[in-house]
Chains A and B, each alone.
Chain A
């Protein structure tokens, strides 16, 4: 029998501290849907997704009711579409986005990821056409998410792709300017993209993954913050211990849900992503955890150190709680999705420079950041290159999800609604990196020794 304290602790985490399982994501391989006729390929894709994921949403809801733990999203990730599109004669790659959208609507998931290309070393057949079609695909669908991997520690950074993605991000925002540029919020540019990531917008089902699997992303910034609030003025060693213990409990919940979903859907369990994923809800913020540690406002000096501690402790606590760990695993810092980050950005305390430093020690990158609408594609490309360089050199995943706020200047706001949130447009350094970006070519892979 459990003590009343243990039972009430769990109930309190769910009722008052926003504990949830953020997503159950079913990864589906589309490699067997390849066909040189694009319409046939789309039909096979639609049929396969609907066949595999028909019970995904209901199963997620059943588990949620039975265990009393909210499961916010049920999602699908698929093989990078550029690989499927490579075989097609047609250049009308956007048809794949329509097929994914239709399948997502039929099975009732809230996002489907994998309108993606992996071009870290160069472009293969299908990659160009897919990347060029991203703005249209994201403007004409609601559920499709896109990602492009432009660099890795082993391959270096494909600067041709970096230059191209600056233009694509801008075009995507322009095509959805009437909807707060939301298209760009569904597009991530990666370095070292994980192949089993359950989180959007960057989820895709890598070519090394099985035919189908279940990946689960956990959450719970509110729980960590509440645990720290109770500890008073203990020292940093104790802070790290509290975070580890809390992350363990959060992740065990995710592991339980993942195993149960895997059993009920008869699909192998892939990984649990050990993440602290914030939402715009006031209690559910990563920035507030950093502030609970003793920072006046997220973004002040000390933020990078606090985030490094948090990120490491979350992983240490989570690793023991799960049999397989993967995905992005760590603390997320998406600005518009985190109430504390939004406030810090509005006050001017949190700047893009600080965010860039923070990405060197946390799990993802420059995520959900609104930038002025007149930002040039070259500046966007240069931000992508900087971020990719941090990932490449540190052997970690980094990503860029910028939203150029078309027609708006620094200080104005974009509001996407829902979990994507909203927030201020942040000012950028406007000096031109155009010549550097337009050189093209590749940044060679870095040395893995002589580390200093």
Chain B
């Protein structure tokens, strides 16, 4: 399934590396990345392909929550359909 990972928070060194490392650990393929830094505020949006047959999605979501807590960033991983349903008719 396709999902979006969003990372929002104060810009620090190595955010992209930490998030993409975590993706690699779970076998998540990153398809697209956009990022911007506005007045020290870091915003990154990744479109990813998750192969959730191997690892339950809840486990993946939990680990990104944990990474968010460790780094002081807000990290979400959400199924793409939530955005489809809200923003596309």
Contacts and interface: CB of A to CB of B under 8 A. Distances in A.
A8 B78 CA distance: 12
A66 B85 contact: no
B69 interface: no
Contacts of A68: 61, 76-79, 82
A252 B81 CA distance: 10
Interface residues on A, range: 20 to 34
Interface string A3-29: 010111111001100000000000000
Contacts of B43: 4, 8
A315 to B, nearest CB: 18
A226 interface: no
A71 B17 CA distance: 32
B68 to A, nearest CB: 11
Contacts, number: 67
Contact of A256 (B4, B45, B82): B82
A167 interface: no
A65 B57 contact: yes
A6 B87 contact: yes
Interface residues on B, range: 20 to 34
A64 to B, nearest CB: 9
Given A2-B87, A62-B58, A10 B47 contact: no
A172 interface: no
B81 A7 contact: no
Pairs A-B, 6 closest by C-beta atoms:
A68-B78, A256-B85, A252-B85, A67-B82, A65-B58, A6-B87
Given A11-B6, A66-B58, 5 more contacts: A6-B86, A8-B6, A10-B86, A62-B57, A256-B85
Interface of A: 1-2, 4, 6-11, 14-15, 61-62, 65-69, 249, 252-253, 255-256
27 contacts: A1-B32, A2-B83, A4-B43, A4-B45, A6-B83, A6-B86, A6-B87, A8-B8, A8-B43, A8-B45, A10-B78, A10-B82, A10-B86, A11-B8, A14-B76, A15-B74, A62-B57, A65-B58, A66-B61, A66-B79, A68-B76, A68-B77, A68-B78, A68-B82, A253-B82, A253-B86, A255-B85
